[in-house]
Structure 1
Amino acid sequence: MAFRQLRGQRSPGEFASAVRRAAREIGEQVACDARYIGRVEAGEIRCPNYAYERVFRHMFPGLALTGMGFSPRETVRGRGARATSGAPPAPETCTDSHEESDVLRRAFITSGSAAMAATTLSWTPAIPSARTPASRPPALAAHNRVGEPEASAVEAAVRRIRLLDDRHGADGLYRRAAQPLRAAYALLDAGAQRQSVTDRLHAGAGELAISVGWLAHDSGRFADARSYYAEALATSRVTGDAALEAHAFCNTAFLARDAGRPREAVRAAQAAQRAAKQLASPRLSSLLALREAGGWAGLGDRAGCEETLHRAQSLFGRGASGDDPEWMSFYGEAELEGLEAQCWSALGDWGRAARHARRAVTLQDPHFVRNITLFTTELAGDLARSGAPEEAAEAAQRALALLGRVRSVRVRGMLDETALALRPHRGLASVGAFLDRHARAGQSA
């Protein structure tokens, strides 16, 4: 379509960054990422909301929406069409955008304070209730078999959860995100009109299970995470979905590393790489090699870790491709550096770990607030252990400030360990200031 031509040679992630820069130039705020660009190019977003429209017109002066490949606003059903009545558009929020379908808007409703409002998910009759027992088809199936709108809503739920996690972390999302997952499996039980819809529902439900598993993982609920990842893996095997299988094994490897089972991490990462051979994505293979490297580092196998890191870097250097999975939009140079930092940290090479962590912080896209917090915390810990307590305290102060916006048990636990490592240096003014602030934050948590 025309919009794809406007992107040119840039990857979806690079183009999304350009959109965000253009938005800042005109004072707009849009949460554009590679997933959004993919939805536009796939025709899922027929007409952008007003904020995006202003940004796109700024980027491509002289082009109307139709010239960019969008449908005229008055032809789009739902709020997008009704907005032409003259009422001023509402500002975009995490859960209220004109381009979303009626099904999705009814599925995601927000209330309360800004951060917690964005994490409030509830399902209404358009999608089966979260309270509907999985063993009983939802009331929806009695009259209408499941079709394209429901499949699209499940897919959009995955994107929404990932976006909210990028911004706010897992803690406030986990329990609410399990509701749309149960609804997705209820839709599968209800049956779809066409096999293509069934396939989309299986893939969407599997990706939802991985997303909820990740939220459990990042919240320190390792047993729950393991169960959700296993559910996603089982779903992938039902349909022979190699992409879903690779993703499930990828996250299983990550969980095993964090849970202190490095040999399982290696095996799961290798299984993911076998599944990924069916896919033409060097970037995916690069990430999976990094998962394996993390396992070797946990085993203390420096040679195995270095060899796998080299493979990961080589694969990453081949660049992005159109076959990269949508969920991998977070995986750029910053993530590569951050995961390598974690490997060197596990091997006790603190100075080398700190160099990579510092690059990860510098390179990270501002959109990924959670990852900036993670890498800043990683940097603080590496500096503390490499004999640079004052610099470590400065980084830890920045991480502590970011944790006011991001809720992650895993990241907070890392910062707690850094505080312990810095206690012998309390006499230094910067270290003392951090330790005092850290203690106050712990009391108010």
Structure 2
Amino acid sequence: MTPANCPRCGGRLARDNGTGRCAPCQAAERDRLSTPPAVPDSFWDHEPVRTVLARRHLGQVIRAYRHHPYHGRSPLPQSVVAGWLGITQAQLSRIENGPALVHLDRLTHWATVLRIPPDWLWFAVGPDSPVSARADGNRAAPDLGRRTLLAGIAAVSAGSGLVGVTEEPQPRRIGSADVSRLNAVLELYRSVDYECGGGLLYREVARFAESVYRMLDWSHSAGLTPRLVAAVAAARQLAGWTALDAGRHADAQRHFAAGERAAVTADDAPLAALIRYSQAKQLQHLRHNQDAVAALRLAGSELGSRATPAVRALLWGAEAASIAALGDHRSALTLLGQASDQFERVDPEREPAWMAFYDRGELLAQYGRVYRDMARQTGTQATQAVRSVEEAIIAFGSANVRSVVLNEVGLCSALFLADEPERAVAVGTRVVEQSRALSSSRVVDRVVNLRRDLRRHRHLPAVAEFERTLTARAATTV
């Protein structure tokens, strides 16, 4: 094939064609801003793509994908591919140029979005994927896999000589590399929580947090103290978060309080803000929105000039949800606008590592919450609520099981509020089953609470039957 041929279909190009694509192929690709194109099998046999697939680095695979001649003489812009993946252009740049991804949920979701054939991958996708197993409603096999994974993480931490499996290790002098190992183990636990929920995870993480706290008494240099104390704060934050997800609210409050004190002691204002955000999420779950607003505003004021765009967006988006629940819709929409402006300024290289979870799906989910409350209180914006939550679910991706289920609960509510009860029942029936595959009390609480938004449709037989299903689900959680 010569340069005068279209790289997509092989047809001859006109002499004045400067795009590198024939007219039919350009027309076929006009929707590429919203969805990746269906590429031929030979696409993946292109030498640069084969090379980076062999390196097992999905970020480099995405870069090679963008520069493939199939797309024309100019590579696909990062902003376009980032939109497909539900992240920002800056985040994609970091993924392409940074270390290889290890989180299975993101690997499987992005490989699925780009339609990479399973035979070219170094991990499983589709029905054989561990992530798919988590979503199929079969509790026994996923729980066994999760417990095996947790045992593996515990073995990793024990192998570092910092945390014991059956008994605590003997105190010794610790250094910078030890603190890095602690944070690496913490990231492994975070990845399990991100995928599965906190029910099975809480006891392991709480034990890990207590072990890290005891290391403050071990010998170490004075210069290492702030990093070690920050590791204590981060471990306490995750222990509190998993306790919240497991429905252990008193334990969550205890860990959050200890984590906040440690973060302040370490002079890590962004981490202290994350912990206050986590406290606010617990208060929102318990319907204490006035207290949630106070916690979020305290977090923002304490940050001052140390606030990064992602942290600001996180705090303002959460505050908007509570403000809307309290009835101040104008202020809530203003806060969402400010959060969106900050989100567009996010540079992952300048954000704390623990902010990696915050993506476009998280922001869109807050839009959905605000619009749902507007629909409940004023009867408006129900359609916008449906649209926002649907976009959030797409941005999260099906592999992020807990966030997807939480937002499908929100979608079910929005559909009832938008007077689409048939669709609402279909979505709700699915999330009732999905909730059984997650170890998350928070998800179950939200599923059961769907009863408040179906009331004006309960005269319909399908809705009445769905309400009985929710009542039965509530009875199994007592």
2:241 alignment counterpart: 214
Q: For residues 205 and 354 of structure 1, do their structure 2 counterparts lie closer, same or farther at Cα, with a shift above 3 Å needed? A: same
Aligned with residue 393 of structure 1, among 420, 425, 429: 425
Cα separation, 1, equivalents of 2:184 and 2:218: 19
Instruction: List gaps (5 residues or longer) in structure 2.
Output: 1-54, 64-77, 79-88, 96-100, 132-141
Q: What residue number does 1:25 align with?
A: 116
In the other structure, the counterpart of 1:161 is 189
Residue matched to 1:356 = 388
Judged with a 3 Å threshold, the aligned counterparts in structure 2 of structure 1 residues 438 and 306 are, in CA distance, closer, same or farther, namely closer
Larger radius of gyration: 2
- CA displacement 1:234-287 (0-9 Å, x = unmatched): 001212112212212222222222223222222221222234333362122111
Letter in 1 for 2:463: V
Q: 1:381, 1:414 within 8 Å by CA — same for their partners in 2?
A: no
User: Does residue 145 of structure 2 align to residue 114 of structure 1?
Assistant: yes
Q: Give the aligned partner of residue 365 of structure 2.
A: 338
Q: What's the TM-score, normalizing by structure 2?
A: 0.66
RMSD: 3.6
Q: Which of residues 349, 354, 360 in structure 2 aligns to 1:327?
A: 354
Match of 2:412 among 363, 376, 380: 380
Distance change >3 Å, CA 115–CA 131, structure 1 → 2 = closer
Counterpart CA distance in 1 for 2:297 and 2:459 is 47
Contact 2:320 2:366 in 1 (8 A): no
Identify which of 216, 222, 228 aligns with 1:201.
228
Bigger shift: residues 16-25 or 335-344: 16-25
Query: What is the letter of the counterpart of residue 128 of structure 1?
Result: V
1:283 aligns with 2:374: no
The answer to whether the 8 A contact 1:361-1:375 is kept is: yes
Where structure 1 has 5 or more consecutive residues not aligned to the other structure, the ranges are 31-50, 56-90, 95-110, 133-137
Give yes or no for contact 1:216–1:222 (8 Å, CA) kept in 2: yes
Distance 1:274 1:424, change over 3 A: closer
Determine what percentage of the aligned residue pairs are the same residue: 23
The DSSP-based 3-state class of the residue aligned with 1:322 is helix
Matches for 1:8-407 after TM superposition, within 5 Å: 11-12=90-91, 15=95, 21-22=110-111, 25-27=116-118, 51=122, 113-120=144-151, 122=154, 124=158, 126-129=161-164, 139-141=169-171, 144-193=172-221, 195-196=223-224, 198-279=225-306, 281-347=308-374, 348=376, 351=382, 352-407=384-439
Rounded to whole Å, the distance in 1 between the matches of 2:158 and 2:202 is 19
Separation in structure 2 between the aligned mates of residue 92 and residue 422 of structure 1, nearest angstrom:
35
d(CA) in 2 for partners of 1:28, 1:207: 38
* Residues in 2 aligned to 1:418 and 1:29: alpha-carbon distance in whole angstroms: 42
TM-score w.r.t. structure 1 length? 0.71
| Partner amino acid, structure 1, of 2:183 | E
Cα distance change on mapping 1:433 and 1:259 into 2, 3 Å: closer
**Which structure's relative contact order is higher, taking Cα pairs within 8 Å and 6+ residues apart?**
2
Offset at 1:164? 0.7
1:171 CA drift (Å): 1.4
CA distance in 1, matches of 2:406, 2:201: 17
Rounded Cα–Cα distance in structure 1 between residues aligned with 2:312 and 2:299: 9
Give, as a single letter, the amino acid of the residue that structure 2 aligns with 1:207: A
Amino acid at match of 1:114: G
Aligned pair in 2 of structure 1 residues 20, 369: CA closer, same or farther (>3 Å)? closer
* Alignment partner of 1:408 is 2:440: yes
C-alpha contact (below 8 Å) 1:252/1:265 kept by paired residues:
yes
In the alignment, the residues of structure 2 paired with residue 185 and residue 299 of structure 1 have an alpha-carbon distance, to the nearest angstrom, of 38
Show the counterpart of 2:46.
none
Q: Which stretch shifts more, 255-264 or 174-183?
A: 255-264
Cα distance 1:191–1:303, how it changes in 2: closer, same or farther (>3 A)? farther
Residue identity matched to 1:382: A
For the 8 Å contact 1:249–1:268, the answer to whether it is kept is yes
Q: Distance in 2 between matches of 1:194 and 1:321?
A: 30
Please say if residues 229 and 248 of structure 1, whose CA atoms lie closer than 8 Å, have aligned partners that are also in contact: yes
Q: Which amino acid aligns with 2:441?
A: V
**2-side partners of 1:444 and 1:294: how far apart?**
29
The number of residue pairs the alignment matches comes to 365
